[in-house]
Amino acid sequence: MAEHFLDSVPGTVSDVFSRELPPVLTVDPGDTLTVHTLDCSGHLERRRTADETVPRMFDERRGHCLVGPIAVRGAEPGMALSVRLESLRPDAWGFTAAATSDTPLNRRLGIADEDSEWLVWDPSGSCGT
């Protein structure tokens, strides 16, 4: 069994979920894979405020920033795959935003007409707004 690592770099990420995309990696059943992902918007640097502009993986965003696709050797359409997550580790920074735009989800949550909220988080223990 092999161990693989995929980083979020051009050529390993996409901003659409599509079975038409070619795999960026093929693994064998039982292999171990470590993946470093970006936030949903593909920010390449930490944002310190909600209105700060920092570089992103994609200039124009169509959807979430995703690593892959990853193919499993021998898998066929219609088969069920089992994936075991051994650990999840947050990166050194991140943020949470709410009510930033009028979307069906924000309308359902009743926050579409509210002031937006933005929180920078740091898993080392300090948070700020």
Give a yes or no: residue 103 inside a domain: yes
pLDDT above 70 as % of the chain: 96
Q: Are strands 13-14 and 66-67 parallel, antiparallel or unpaired?
A: antiparallel
Give a yes or no: residue 99 inside a domain: yes
- Answer yes or no: pTM beyond 0.85: no
pLDDT(129) > 50 = no
Give a yes or no: residue 80 inside a domain: no
Question: How many domains does the chain fold into?
Answer: 2
Task: Tell me: do 67 and 109 sit in the same domain.
Answer: no
pLDDT tens digits, residue range 27-80?
A: 999 999 999 999 988 999 988 888 889 999 998 878 889 999 999 999 998 999
Domain, as residue range, for 100: 88-129
Give a yes or no: residue 79 inside a domain: no
Task: Tell me: do 34 and 95 sit in the same domain.
Answer: no
Residues facing 70 on adjacent strands: 25
Task: Tell me: do 8 and 60 sit in the same domain.
Answer: yes
